[in-house]
Amino acid sequence: MTQSYSVAVIGLGSMGMGAALSCINAGLTTYGVDLNPVALEQLNKAGAAATGTDAKAYAADVDAVMLLVVNAKQVNTILFDLGLAAALKPGTAVMVSATISADDAKAIETKLNEHQLLMLDAPVSGGAAKAAAGEMTIMASGSEQAFAKLQPVLDATSAKTYNIGTEIGLGATVKIIHQLLAGVHIAAGAEAMAMAAKAGIPLDTMYDVVTNAAGNSWMFENRMKHVVNGDYTPTSMVDIFVKDMGLVADTAKSLNFPSPLASTAYNMYLNASNAGYGHQADAAVIKTFSGITLPGDEA
Reply yes or no on domain 173-288 having CATH 1.10.1040.10: yes
> Is there a shared CATH topology between the 2-167 domain and the 173-288 domain?
no
Q: Of 299 and 64, which is predicted with more confidence? A: 64
Reply yes or no on whether the pLDDT at 282 is more than 70.
yes
Structural contact between residues 196 and 209, judged by C-beta atoms closer than 8 angstroms: no
Average pLDDT (119-132) is: 94
**What pLDDT, on a 0 to 100 scale, did the predictor assign at position 58?**
97
**What pLDDT, on a 0 to 100 scale, did the predictor assign at position 4?**
87
**pLDDT tens readout for residues 66-118:** 999 999 999 999 999 999 999 999 999 999 999 999 999 999 999 999 999 99
**What pLDDT, on a 0 to 100 scale, did the predictor assign at position 235?**
86
Confidence of residue 298 (pLDDT cuts 50, 70, 90): low
**What pLDDT, on a 0 to 100 scale, did the predictor assign at position 3?**
55
**pLDDT tens readout for residues 31-47:** 999 999 999 999 999 99
Mean pLDDT of all residues in the chain? Answer: 96
Reply yes or no on whether the pLDDT at 208 is more than 70.
yes
**pLDDT tens readout for residues 257-281:** 999 999 999 999 999 999 999 999 9
Q: How many CA atoms lie within 13 A of 280 on its CB side?
A: 20
Amino acid at 205: T
Strands (E) across 132-239 are located at: 136-142, 158-165
Helix axes 170-199, 238-254, angle to 10 degrees: 120
Which of 2-16, 77-91, 110-124, 205-219 comes out lowest in average pLDDT? 2-16
Active-site residue, from 130, 149, 175, 287:
175
Q: How far, in Å, CA of 132 to CA of 42, rounded?
A: 13
Reply yes or no on whether the pLDDT at 2 is more than 70.
no
Helix axes 170-199, 203-211, angle to 10 degrees: 130
Reply yes or no on whether the pLDDT at 231 is more than 60.
yes
Task: Please report, for the chain, the start and end positions of each structural domain, with discontinuous segments joined by +.
Answer: 2-167, 173-288
**What pLDDT, on a 0 to 100 scale, did the predictor assign at position 1?**
42
Percent of the chain with pLDDT over 90: 95
Average pLDDT (134-155) is: 98
Q: How far, in Å, CA of 132 to CA of 16, rounded?
A: 9
**pLDDT tens readout for residues 63-80:** 999 999 999 999 999 999
Other C-beta atoms lying within 10 Å of the C-beta of residue 94: 28
**What pLDDT, on a 0 to 100 scale, did the predictor assign at position 297?**
85
DSSP letter string over 183-252?
HHHHHHHHHHHHHHHHHT--HHHHHHHHHTSTT--HHHHHHHHHHHHT----SSBHHHHHHHHHHHHHHH
Structural contact between residues 219 and 243, judged by C-beta atoms closer than 8 angstroms: no
CA distances from 206 to 42, 185, 215, 232, 283 (A): 37, 16, 11, 19, 16
Fold topology of 2-167: Rossmann fold (3.40.50)
DSSP 8-state secondary structure symbol assigned to residue 131: H
Helices and strands per DSSP (H, E), number in the chain: 13, 9
Q: How far, in Å, CA of 224 to CA of 286, rounded?
A: 9
**Is 175 annotated in the active site?**
yes
